[in-house]
Amino acid sequence: MPMDFNFSEAVLKISSLLLIVVVLNCADSKAELSAPQRIGLKERTRTISGNQAANIINKMHNQAVAAAANAIVEYGKEKKDILYISFYEEREQAREAFDLMINKMAAAEKSPFFHLMPLPAYKNKVYFTLGMGARHYIFISGNYLLWLQTSQSFGG
């Protein structure tokens, strides 16, 4: 089943998300994790944070990988989009976690994700993958590692 994908609109959507993430970098502490009210056509409907978010992230990975602070933000009511935000005390920790995740995904023989690729428009710093019935964008911004799982079509 081919997915309708318009690269220029995807770049615009990701650019908008990256601009919002800049606000995250202005936060004084990990307690101030915030997320956009809307992504694409969907409004924020629920936010999970603190220990609950860390537990979910660790369970998803079957190991302790949660960062210093985490948030899981849901958008929409029917088929939800999910933004995972992880805050690291040091920028280098965010970079290392990002690199480790991308390398493990690329090397995995059995994975729910496929077609992992860097997006050249972002100097290969944003990765795109398909899987679990959605599109996924993975990137870092300062001390933040972000993963956007979306069912929204960026096509026209």
Q: What is the pLDDT of residue 39?
A: 87
In a domain, 2, yes or no: no
Q: What is the pLDDT of residue 61?
A: 83
Give percent above pLDDT 70 in the chain: 77
In a domain, 90, yes or no: yes
Q: Is the pLDDT of residue 120 over 50?
A: yes
Reduced to 3 states (helix: H, G, I; strand: E, B; else coil), residue 52 is: helix
With 0.85 as the threshold, say if the pTM is over it: no
In a domain, 143, yes or no: yes
* Choice between 19 and 67, residue whose per-residue pLDDT is larger: 67
In a domain, 115, yes or no: yes
Per-residue pLDDT band at 156 (split at 50, 70, 90) = very low
In a domain, 1, yes or no: no
Q: Which residues contact 74 (CB under 8 A, 6 or more apart)?
A: 44, 45, 46, 47, 48, 80, 81, 82
Q: What is the CATH number of the domain that holds 68?
A: 3.40.1000.70
Total domains in the fold of the chain = 1
What tens digit of pLDDT does each residue of 32-65 get? Answer: 578 889 888 899 999 999 999 999 998 988 888 8
What tens digit of pLDDT does each residue of 80-102 get? Answer: 999 999 999 999 999 999 999 99
Q: What is the pLDDT of residue 17?
A: 60
In a domain, 111, yes or no: yes
Q: Give the chain's count of helices (H) and strands (E).
A: 3, 8
Q: Is the pLDDT of residue 139 over 50?
A: yes
Phi, psi of 4 (to 5 degrees): -75, 120
Q: Is the pLDDT of residue 118 over 70?
A: yes
In a domain, 156, yes or no: no
Give percent above pLDDT 90 in the chain: 52
What sign for the dihedral angle of Cα 29, 33, 37, 40?
positive
